[in-house]
């Protein structure tokens, strides 16, 4: 391979359509906030978005905004603003970047979408603590600041097998948020509408799962870095026809690639699994770094977090409760290890990278011996990278590069 070709990655054609639907999503939120034509709910990324859509809310996700602050490398400058009002630099850097940006009156949406000057004002804030407690604190700040009602679901954590008791208690909490949401929405809850939305969410989830599973093919038609971009509609538009149409299009392109052995990373030699949060401000740099080493990061826990296989429109509350509790982040270490073993086998993984994200202990699974246990179980080596999702002061690019190169060399020796 020539030097110029090293690190070449194959662009996904569907990205243009994704850009279009994401733009339409943000402009609709912006228009509604300005004209007050529709109510807007802010929701956590694995919160009860389907209930909100069924009540006619447009749904905005502050974590998506946090990731945009990270990807545009605006986040680091915003964090100090939240630290100044008592939010520690050690807590979630989505939270600190997002609150900091709000206080400074800036948003990456203005850069990406002409005419949008701020995030859309919420009519209600809705959280689920299934991922962490930080989301509740985050939304509580906005509730006080904007004088907007806050409702939420408190999920069990460290769950082994998801039992009927877990499911029933979450389902009851989901039913209990309907009444306060009806008051804000100014409309009555309609079970048939929830079933319709949940059907679309289920389709979106199934298509997204199939998209990610195409990476089991060698060479892989997509990378983790593609996944972090293309998961946008699964996060913010699940429950809509647009998301279903988009993943139908993307899946066709990726199936075409696998049929023709088109590789996302030219001359793929090693296949890695990414465990933990993305490093948003380094997506492009890391995609290039791995590609130059003929290494494809083919799969991740993170991108798979928006697969909700339990959704069943015929049993909406119970199935939503189960789906939003079966998530990796909610589970015990034993369940997580079983899952990781399956992923390593399914995607034919040569090595695992654990991201120790300083400000997100919830999505960091390498602090209590898990890499060593997984290595003993599978014989697959691992590397831990120290960094953060958003705070670039916590990342050493030199150290990352040195460690990744040494790890890939180790994989190469294993194959030789
Ligand atoms: S899971 Fe981690 S990154 Fe996500 S909101 Fe919670 S603390 Fe922040």
* Cα 270 off chain centre by: 24
Contact 291, 9 (CB under 8 A): yes
Q: What's the DSSP call for residue 38?
A: S
Tokens 């996944």 -> residue: 227
Sheet (strand 270-275) strand order? 295-300, 270-275, 351-357, 382-387
List the pLDDT tens digit at each of the 416 positions of the chain: 444 455 667 899 999 999 999 999 999 999 999 999 999 999 999 999 999 999 999 999 999 999 999 999 999 999 999 999 999 999 999 999 999 999 999 999 999 999 999 999 999 999 999 999 999 999 999 999 999 999 999 999 899 999 999 999 999 999 999 999 999 999 999 999 999 999 999 999 999 999 999 999 999 999 999 999 999 999 999 999 999 999 999 999 999 999 999 999 999 999 999 999 999 999 999 999 999 999 999 999 999 999 999 999 999 999 999 999 999 999 999 999 999 999 999 999 999 999 999 999 999 999 999 999 999 999 999 999 999 999 999 999 999 999 999 999 999 999 88
Query: Is residue 273 within 8 Å of residue 298, measured between CB atoms?
Result: yes
What atom of ligand 1 comes closest to residue 359's alpha carbon? Answer: 7
Count of C-beta atoms within a 10 Å radius of residue 342: 10
Residue count of the chain: 416
What is the Å distance from ligand 1's center to 4 Cα? 38
For ligand 1, atom 5: residue with the closest CA? 135
Distance CA 25, CA 48 (A): 18
pLDDT of residue 415: 86
Listed residue (275, 387, 384) closest to 337, CA to CA: 275
How many beta carbons lie within 10 A of that of residue 6, not counting itself?
14
Distance from the alpha carbon of residue 258 to the mean position of ligand 1, in angstroms: 34
pLDDT of residue 6: 59
User: What pLDDT sits at residue 3?
Assistant: 43
| Ligand 1: lining residues by beta carbon, under 6 Å | 63, 92, 94, 131-132, 134-135, 277, 360, 362-363, 389
Strand pairing report for 351-357 and 295-300 = unpaired
Q: Which of 95, 96, 97, 388 to mutate to test the pocket of ligand 1 (most atoms within 8 A of CB)?
A: 95
Q: How far, in Å, from the CA of 68 to the mean position of ligand 1?
A: 14
* Atom number of ligand 1 nearest to Cα 131: 1
Atom 6 (ligand 1): residue with closest C-alpha? 132
Q: According to the model, what pLDDT value does residue 416 have?
A: 82
Closest to 177 measured CA to CA, from 146, 153, 148: 153
Q: Judging by DSSP bridges, how do beta strands 124-128 and 58-60 pair with one another?
A: unpaired
């Amino acid at each position: 391979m020539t030097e110029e070709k090293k690190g070449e990655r194959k662009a996904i054609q569907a990205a243009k359509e994704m850009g279009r639907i994401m733009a339409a999503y943000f402009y609709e939120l912006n228009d509604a906030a300005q004209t007050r034509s529709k109510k807007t709910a802010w929701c956590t990324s694995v919160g009860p978005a389907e209930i909100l859509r069924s009540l006619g809310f447009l749904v905005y996700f502050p974590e998506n905004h946090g990731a945009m602050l990270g990807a545009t490398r605006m986040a680091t400058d915003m964090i100090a603003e939240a630290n100044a009002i008592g939010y520690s630099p050690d807590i979630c850097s989505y939270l600190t970047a997002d609150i900091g940006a709000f206080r400074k009156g800036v948003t990456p949406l203005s850069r990406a979408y002409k005419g949008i000057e701020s995030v859309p004002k919420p009519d209600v804030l809705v959280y689920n603590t299934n991922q962490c407690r930080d989301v509740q604190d985050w939304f509580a700040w906005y509730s006080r600041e904007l004088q907007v009602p806050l409702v939420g679901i408190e999920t069990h954590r460290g769950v082994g097998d998801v039992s009927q008791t877990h499911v029933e208690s979450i389902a009851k909490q989901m039913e209990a948020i309907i009444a306060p949401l009806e008051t804000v929405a100014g409309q009555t809850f309609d079970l048939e509408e929830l079933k319709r939305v949940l059907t679309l969410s289920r389709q979106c989830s199934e298509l997204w799962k199939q998209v990610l599973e195409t990476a089991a093919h060698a060479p892989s038609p997509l990378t983790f870095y593609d996944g972090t971009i293309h998961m946008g509609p699964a996060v913010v538009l699940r429950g809509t026809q647009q998301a279903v149409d988009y993943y139908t299009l993307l899946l066709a392109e990726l199936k075409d690639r696998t049929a023709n052995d088109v590789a996302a990373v030219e001359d793929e030699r090693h296949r890695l699994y990414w465990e933990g949060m993305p490093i948003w401000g380094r997506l492009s740099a890391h995609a290039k770094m791995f590609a130059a080493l003929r290494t494809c990061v083919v799969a991740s826990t993170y991108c798979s977090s928006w697969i909700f296989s339990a959704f069943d429109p015929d049993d909406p509350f119970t199935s939503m409760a189960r789906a939003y509790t079966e998530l990796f982040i909610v589970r015990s270490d034993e369940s997580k290890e079983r899952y990781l073993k399956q992923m390593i086998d399914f995607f034919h993984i040569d090595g695992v990278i654990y991201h120790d994200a300083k400000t997100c202990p919830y999505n960091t699974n390498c602090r209590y011996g898990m890499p060593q246990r997984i290595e003993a179980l599978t014989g697959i080596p691992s590397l831990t990278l120290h960094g953060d999702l958003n705070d670039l002061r916590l990342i050493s690019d030199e150290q990352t590069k040195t460690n990744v190169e040494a790890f890939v060399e180790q994989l190469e020796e294993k194959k030789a």
